[in-house]
Amino acid sequence: MLLQAITHCLDLLIRCLITCLNYLQRSLQAVNTRPKDALTLVHEDQPRREQPVPTSDSAPHDDPESSAIESRSSDAPVIDTSTGSPDAQAAGFPSAVDAAAESSPETVDAAAVWKPRAFALIVAIDEYQHSSINNLSGCVRDAEDFRDFTVKTRGVPETQIYTLTNGEATRDAILNAIYAKLIDNPDIRKDDLIMFYYAGHGARRPAPASWVADGREIETICPCDERMTDSKSGERIEAEDR
C-alpha cells in the first residue's frame, strides 16, 4: 500500500511538471510571435515627407506641423498627467479612485458604504463592598489599557465604549448596561462587533436545567455588591463557591 501511494504521488508530480513546462513553452512562443507596437508600424509605414528647398525667388514655406513643434520652447510649463496628480485632476484626468470605480464599481461602492463598527462594554472591579471579599489590584488598570487599545489601535469611537468600574459596577448597573448599551442599542446594526470585557472576581454556580454545561456548573462574574443585600428584593446578591 505504501509503495502504491508513493508511486501515485510521483505520477501526479510528474504530470504537474509537464503541465507547467507546456504552459511556459506556450507563453514564450506567444511573446516571440507578438506583432510590433502599433506606433512603430505606423512610423515605419508612413512615407517620408520631403521638405521643399527654399530658393531666393520664393518665400519660405511654413510647415504647420514643424511650426507647432518648434513653438514648444524649453520654458513651457510641463503638465503632470500622472494619475491622481493635481494637474491631472484640474485637467479632468481620472483619479486612482475613479479608475478603480470604472474597473470594479461594486468593490468601491461596497467599501464606501460598509465601514466596520464595534461597541464595547467594559466592567472592572478592584474594590468590593462586602468585607469578606478580598479587594484586587490591577483590574481597573487592565480595563483602561484595553480601552486605550480599542480606541487608539482599533479606531473605535469613545462614544461606542461604555465603562463601569468599582462602585459603579453593581449587579443592576451591569445588567442595565448590557441591555441598554448592547442588546437594545438602536445604533447597533447587523454584523457590528460587540465586545464585553470583564476583570474582577468570578464564581461558579449550578447551571439552569435547560443549559448544557460541563459538570452542571457555569461560571459567573461577581459585581461590586456581591454578598450584599439587594435593596429591591431584599435577597442576598451572591454566587456560590467564589
- Over the stretch 27-71, which tens digit does the pLDDT of each residue have? 777 666 655 544 444 444 555 555 555 555 544 445 444 444 344
Res. 195 pLDDT band, cuts 50 70 90 = very high
Closest CA to 204 of 238, 160, 151, 241: 241
Q: 136 lies in a domain?
A: yes
Identity of the amino acid at 152: K
- On the question of pLDDT at 85 being above 50, the answer is no
Q: 190 lies in a domain?
A: yes
Cα separation, 150 vs 242, whole angstroms = 30
Contact 222, 201 (CB under 8 A): yes
Number of helices (H), then strands (E), in the chain: 8, 5
pLDDT attached to residue 4: 65
Domain count, the chain: 1
pLDDT attached to residue 28: 74
Cα separation, 66 vs 107, whole angstroms = 47
* 147-173: average pLDDT: 95
Q: 188 lies in a domain?
A: yes
Contact 203, 241 (CB under 8 A): yes
Boundaries of domain holding 161: 118-221
pLDDT attached to residue 173: 96
Q: 106 lies in a domain?
A: no
**Average pLDDT over the chain, rounded to whole?**
74
Q: 125 lies in a domain?
A: yes
Query: What order do you get walking across the sheet with 161-165 strand by strand?
Result: 161-165, 118-124, 193-199
HSE-up of residue 177 (Cα within 13 Å, Cβ side): 24
Does the predicted TM-score (pTM) go above 0.85? no
